[in-house]
Amino acid sequence: MESHDRQDHWQSVYTKKSESEVSWFQENPAPSLAMIEQTGAAPGSAIIDIGGGASRLVDRLVERDFRNVTVLDLSRAALEVAKARLGDGAAQVQWLVADGTIWEPQDTYDIWHDRAAFHFLTDQADRAAYVARLGQAVRVGGHAIIATFALDGPERCSGLPVVRYDAASLGKTLGDRFELVNTRSDAHATPWGSEQSFQFSLFRRVGS
């Protein structure tokens, strides 16, 4: 999928549907918070949420006094929803409208978090571009938390095909600069009560 088609798709989703009318809506991003805690994150840790959309993860991070949080998403509309919800708290977050396969990171991060964005990259070239940015943006000793549909999860989301992973196939895709620290399954309950099987994997950036 071309980047502009992707952007049109997601902009349209967030313009037409409210935050809680999408299958991925999560009131409490508990699995993500547990893995962020496992990294030993401190208030000054630089955290980026890739494809963060309108997720409430940023709210929980701001509440916990994380001072260096960035949310990147293709959709400006999604980020506007999160900003409006945060009110004054939005000013202490960096907001980036960008495609994670094209964006040129200007900073390095202690924690890269991605829930349900990477799995939309069905082209090898897009995955390679994403992984190159991941390797560039996460400092050695930093962490990547990548949540995708699991091997028994849905084959599509938001009308788009996805690639499903387990920790082993994800680790192979990320390459030898990322070492698996932990993985867990998560049965996500959609707002209409169905279940989606996710995997959350935590990797440490090693080598250089």
Residues that bind ligand SAM (CB under 6 A): 6, 10, 24, 51-53, 55, 73-75, 78, 99-101, 115-117, 120, 157
Question: Which residue do the tokens 């952007």 mark?
Answer: 7
Output the smallest distance, CB 100 to ligand SAM, in A. Answer: 3
| Of residues 58 and 207, the one with the C-beta less far from ligand SAM | 58
| Of residues 51 and 105, the one with the C-beta less far from ligand SAM | 51
DSSP state of 168: H
Output the smallest distance, CB 36 to ligand SAM, in A. Answer: 13
Tokens coding 47:
């955290």
Closest CA to 42 of 192, 167, 143, 160: 143
| Of residues 36 and 116, the one with the C-beta less far from ligand SAM | 116
The C-alpha atoms of residue 48 and residue 98 are separated, in whole angstroms, by 13
| Of residues 6 and 164, the one with the C-beta less far from ligand SAM | 6
Q: Residue 60 CA to chain centroid, in angstroms?
A: 15
| Of residues 89 and 154, the one with the C-beta less far from ligand SAM | 154
Output the smallest distance, CB 112 to ligand SAM, in A. Answer: 12
What is the amino acid identity at position 121?
Answer: L
Output the smallest distance, CB 97 to ligand SAM, in A. Answer: 9
Output the smallest distance, CB 123 to ligand SAM, in A. Answer: 11
Output the smallest distance, CB 172 to ligand SAM, in A. Answer: 21
What is the amino acid identity at position 8?
Answer: D
| Of residues 59 and 166, the one with the C-beta less far from ligand SAM | 59
What is the amino acid identity at position 168?
Answer: A
The C-alpha atoms of residue 192 and residue 81 are separated, in whole angstroms, by 21
- Do the beta carbons of residue 140 and residue 206 sit within 8 Å? yes
Residue 90 falls in which region: left (phi positive, over 0), alpha (psi -120 to 50) or beta: alpha
Q: Which residue is nearest to ligand SAM (CB)?
A: 53
